């Protein structure tokens, strides 16, 4: 799994524009460059987890594996 280091682009494991804006707003003070999984053409994984945490992990892993970049997911 890729690790984030300063200057790396972080993949937001979502196709939801509202969620992208929300996470971008949270990360803006830290100047973290981000790109959405949808903008990279990555598919949305099937949400088979039994909890929000499990589904967020599935999404983050899929985005990291598909992009080769570190990723962040929120499932709520």
Between β-strands 71-72 and 34-36, what pairing exists: parallel, antiparallel or unpaired?
unpaired
The pLDDT score that the predictor gives to residue 5 is 78
Residue 64, by phi and psi: left (phi above 0), alpha (psi -120 to 50) or beta?
alpha
Told to judge if 74 belongs to the known catalytic residues of this protein, a careful annotator would answer: no
- What's the confidence (pLDDT) of residue 35? 97
When pLDDT is cut at 50, 70 and 90, the band that residue 7 belongs to is confident
Question: Can you tell me the distance from the alpha carbon of 15 to that of 7, in angstroms, rounded to the nearest whole number?
Answer: 23
The whole-chain average pLDDT of the chain stands at 93
Task: Tell me the pLDDT tens digit for each residue of 29-59.
Answer: 999 999 999 999 999 999 999 999 999 999 9
**Selection from 15, 21, 68, 17 nearest residue 45 by Cα:** 15
- CA-based nearest residue to 31, from 2, 3, 8, 1: 8
Catalytic residue among 8, 25, 74, 75: 75
* This prediction's pTM: 0.88
């Amino acid at each position: 799994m890729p690790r984030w280091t300063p200057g790396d682009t972080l993949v937001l494991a979502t196709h939801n524009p509202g969620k992208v804006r929300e996470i971008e707003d949270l990360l803006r003070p830290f100047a973290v460059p981000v790109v959405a999984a949808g903008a990279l053409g990555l598919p949305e994984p099937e949400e088979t987890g039994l909890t929000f945490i499990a589904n967020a992990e599935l999404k983050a892993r899929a985005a990291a594996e598909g992009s080769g970049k570190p990723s962040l997911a929120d499932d709520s």
